[in-house]
Amino acid sequence: MAAQASLPVLIGKKRDGERLEEEEIQSFVRGVTDGTAQQGQIGAMLMAIRLRGMDAAETLSLTRAMAASGRALAWPPAWRGLLVDKHSTGGVGDKVSLALAPALAACGCKVPMISGRGLGHTGGTLDKLEAIPGFRVSQSPEQMQSILERVGCCIVGQSEELAPADRVLYGLRDVTATVDSLPLITASILSKKAAEQLSALVLDVKFGSAALYPTPESARELAQSLVAVGERLGIRTAAVLSRMDQPLGRRVGNSLEVLEALECLEGGGSPRPAGAGHHPGSATGMGDGVGGDQEATARGPHTQAPRPAPPAPSLGVPLSPGLTPLHRPGDLSCVPCVVLPPASGSVPPPQQQPCPCPHTPGSPPMSPSP
C-alpha cells in the first residue's frame, strides 16, 4: 500500500517532482505527529514541497491530514452560523487580530482563533499576547468553550490536541527557508481553521516589501489557493489582498502593539489598524452587528446593497476573475480587492460595498500614517 511506503521513498518522490497520493501524505503527517519522522526527514520533505510544489488535490489532502492530526472542536448547536475567524499572512506591526476578535465578539459572534507565532520577519499574534504578564496561549478545547461562553472570543496556539502536526511543521518552516511555500502556507492556515469548525473565514493576504509575497500576482495566487481549499473544507471563505509596504499603525514590537490594539478598541490610536480591520470584520458577513443573521454569513464578504463600482486599483496588473475592486487608485490605506469563491451554485456574485475609510468620495487619498 502507498501508505506503507517509507518516508525516504516519499521524500525522493516529491524531490523528483512526482505527485503524492492522499495515503502517502497521510503517512507523512502521521510520522510528523507521532514522532517517528526525524527532523531531518521532515525538513527534507518541506524543502521538496517548497521546490516542487503541490497541485490542488495534494494541498487539500495535506490540509485535511494536518487538521485530522488533532481534535476537531465541537460547539453548542446554538452557535451554528456564529463561528467566525480571520487570519493574516503576516507583516510588520500587524495587530489587527487583537482588536478584531473582541470587536466581532461584541457583535454577537464566537471567535475561536487558533493563531501562530512569528515566521521570518513577520510578527506572531501569540508572541504579542505573551507580552502580557500571565497570559496563556495554551488552552484545552474545554477551556476554549468556557472562554467563548463568557467573553465570545479567544486566541490560542496549536497544541498536542489542536493541529499538532502544524505545530511541528510551523516551527521547522522557519528554520528551513520554506516559510513562503504556497501549499505549506495554505495547509498550515486552513488546518487550524478546519479544526475550529467555522461558519465563515476571511483571510488577509498581504503583499509588498514587508510581506512574505512581494507582488500582488503572487499574493493573488495564494489567496485563490486559500479560498479554493477553504470552500472544499466546507468553510465559507473569502480572502482580502492588502498592501504591506509599511508597518500597520504607529507601533512595532510585541508589548507596544498590544497597547495600540487596546487604544484602538477604546476608540483611539492610529486609524490604520482600524481601517485594515474593517474588511476582515465585514467579510465574515457578521461585522455589521448582525449577530445571528445566517443569511449574511452565507453571503460571505459583502452584505450591503450593490453600489456603482469604483475604478480598479492601480496595482500595475489587471484584475483576474474572482477579484473585485473595492477602492480608489492610490489610496494605500484602503484594501484593493477581494478574492471570492466562483459565483456559481449557492455562492452569490460579489457586490460592491462603500469604502469604510474616513474620507468622502472625490477627496484626495489619505496619507499613510507616520
Same domain, 290 and 222: yes
| Beta-strand runs (E) in the chain | 84-88, 111-114, 153-156, 200-207, 236-243, 323-325, 337-339
Catalytic residue among 64, 95, 110, 193: 193
Catalytic residue among 69, 125, 324, 333: 125
Q: What is the pLDDT of residues 170-229, one digit of tens each?
A: 889 989 999 999 999 999 999 999 999 999 999 999 999 888 889 999 999 999 999 999
User: Residue 18 belongs to a domain with what CATH number?
Assistant: 1.20.970.10
Instruction: Please count the structural domains in the chain.
Output: 2
- Residue appearing with cell numbers 461584541: 106
Q: Which domain, by its residues, includes 31?
A: 2-53
Catalytic residue among 50, 87, 236, 279: 87
Same domain, 32 and 103: no
Rounded to whole angstroms, the Cα distance separating 167 from 116 reads: 9
Domain-located, residue 16? yes
Catalytic residue among 61, 88, 303, 333: 88
Same domain, 202 and 115: yes
Mean predicted lDDT score pLDDT of the chain: 77
Domain-located, residue 366? no
Same domain, 234 and 291: yes
Q: Cα angle vertex 309, ends 270, 328, to 5°?
A: 35
Concerning whether 6 is annotated as a catalytic residue, the answer is no
Concerning whether 192 is annotated as a catalytic residue, the answer is yes
Tell me the sheet residues that pair with 86: 202
Concerning whether 86 is annotated as a catalytic residue, the answer is yes
Tell me the C-alpha to C-alpha distance, in Å, between residue 49 and each of 12, 173, 188, 229, 252: 11, 11, 13, 17, 33
Catalytic residue among 192, 251, 272, 278: 192
Catalytic residue among 89, 188, 242, 284: 188
Q: What is the pLDDT of residues 6-35, one digit of tens each?
A: 999 999 999 999 999 999 999 999 999 999
Domain-located, residue 177? no
Would you place residue 342 in the very low, low, confident or very high pLDDT band (cuts 50, 70, 90)? low
Concerning whether 136 is annotated as a catalytic residue, the answer is no
Which residue from 234, 268, 226 is spatially nearest to 251, judged by alpha carbons?
A: 268
Domain-located, residue 287? yes
> What are the DSSP calls for 170-220, one per residue?
HHHHHHTT-TT-HHHHHHHHHHHHHHHT-SEEEEEEEESTTSSB-SHHHHH
Same domain, 24 and 148: no
Concerning whether 236 is annotated as a catalytic residue, the answer is no
Domain-located, residue 290? yes
| Predicted local confidence at residue 90, as pLDDT | 83
Its pTM stands at: 0.73
User: Residue 279 belongs to a domain with what CATH number?
Assistant: 3.40.1030.10
Catalytic residue among 14, 27, 85, 278: 85
Same domain, 8 and 154: no
The average pLDDT across 314-340 equals 39
Same domain, 118 and 204: yes
Same domain, 133 and 213: yes
| Predicted local confidence at residue 64, as pLDDT | 97
Concerning whether 299 is annotated as a catalytic residue, the answer is no
| Predicted local confidence at residue 173, as pLDDT | 94
Same domain, 131 and 10: no
Same domain, 277 and 224: yes
Rounded to whole angstroms, the Cα distance separating 128 from 94 reads: 10
Same domain, 228 and 284: yes
Q: What is the pLDDT of residues 95-131, one digit of tens each?
A: 989 999 999 999 999 999 988 787 767 778 888 999 9
Same domain, 255 and 332: yes
Domain-located, residue 288? yes
Coil vs helix vs strand at 302 = coil
Concerning whether 87 is annotated as a catalytic residue, the answer is yes
Domain-located, residue 11? yes
Domain-located, residue 31? yes
